[in-house]
């Protein structure tokens, strides 16, 4: 299967996930700012998950730029990643509905962690595919990729102290990935 096909399908799924989260935002019944205030946590969690999915979409293309054809392993590793990302609207909505209670925040962290693991597995699958060795070289020591799961685990642990403390590592991961990753671009440029 050509990479473009897999990318188009993944783009479609990510576009839908990023958008349907807004359907989970409860429309207030009262026309007052106080009623809207009840949607503020919903708004913030929506923003966080929106940024996360934006980051996955962005990185997804970077790693797929080095391979031209995908094999069965990559295909299922990719669906595995999409599966965990597709649960984000659910865990985000639960965290919002319970206004950051401990258990939902822990589950949200676990969801982020499992998506990161799935992404790691996908990267490994690409490393072993045709042309994938270059990606390994391009990513180098991959500090960001290694720091993210550690930060998720910190967040999950901190949730047992305070839900709000847990959000600090979760937001931190989003911020360090917001800066676009130039490693792959640099590698592709040097290859040409």
Interface with a second copy (CB under 8 A): 1, 5, 7-9, 11-20, 22-25, 27-33, 36, 47, 50-51, 54, 57-58, 61, 71-72, 75-76, 79, 82-83, 86-87, 89-90, 93-94, 97-98, 101-104, 107, 178-180, 182
- Alpha carbon separation from 119 to 41, 42, 96 (Å, rounded): 28, 26, 25
Distance between CA atoms of residues 10 and 14, nearest Å: 6
Quote the tokens at residue 76: 């299922």
Q: How far is CA 89 from the centre of its chain?
A: 12
Least distance (Å) between residue 171 CB and a second copy: 16
CB of 135 to a second copy, least distance (A): 16
Taking the least distance from each CB to a second copy, the nearer of 70 and 151 is 70
Are the C-beta atoms of residues 190 and 182 closer than 8 Å to each other?
no
Smallest distance from the beta carbon of 25 to a second copy, in angstroms?
5
Nearest to a second copy of 57, 127 (CB atom):
57
Burial of 116 (0-12, 13-18, 19+ CB in 10 A): buried
Q: How far is the CB of 112 from a second copy (least distance, A)?
A: 16
């Amino acid at each position: 299967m050509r990479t473009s096909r897999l990318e188009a399908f993944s783009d479609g799924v990510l576009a839908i996930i990023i958008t349907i989260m807004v359907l989970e935002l409860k429309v207030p019944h009262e026309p007052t700012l106080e009623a809207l205030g009840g949607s503020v946590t919903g708004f913030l969690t929506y923003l966080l998950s929106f940024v996360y999915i934006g980051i996955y979409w962005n990185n997804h293309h970077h790693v797929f730029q080095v391979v031209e054809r995908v094999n069965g392993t990559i295909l299922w590793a990719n669906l595995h990643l999409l599966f965990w990302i597709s649960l984000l609207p659910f865990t985000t909505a639960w965290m919002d509905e319970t206004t950051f209670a401990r258990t939902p925040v822990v589950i949200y962290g676990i969801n982020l962690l499992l998506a990161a693991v799935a992404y790691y597995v996908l990267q490994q699958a690409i490393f072993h595919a045709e042309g994938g060795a270059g990606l390994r070289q391009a990513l180098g020591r991959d500090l960001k990729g290694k720091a993210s799961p550690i930060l998720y685990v910190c967040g999950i642990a901190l949730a047992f102290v305070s839900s709000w403390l847990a959000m600090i590592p979760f937001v931190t991961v989003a911020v360090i990935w917001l800066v676009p990753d130039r490693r792959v671009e640099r590698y592709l440029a040097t290859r040409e």
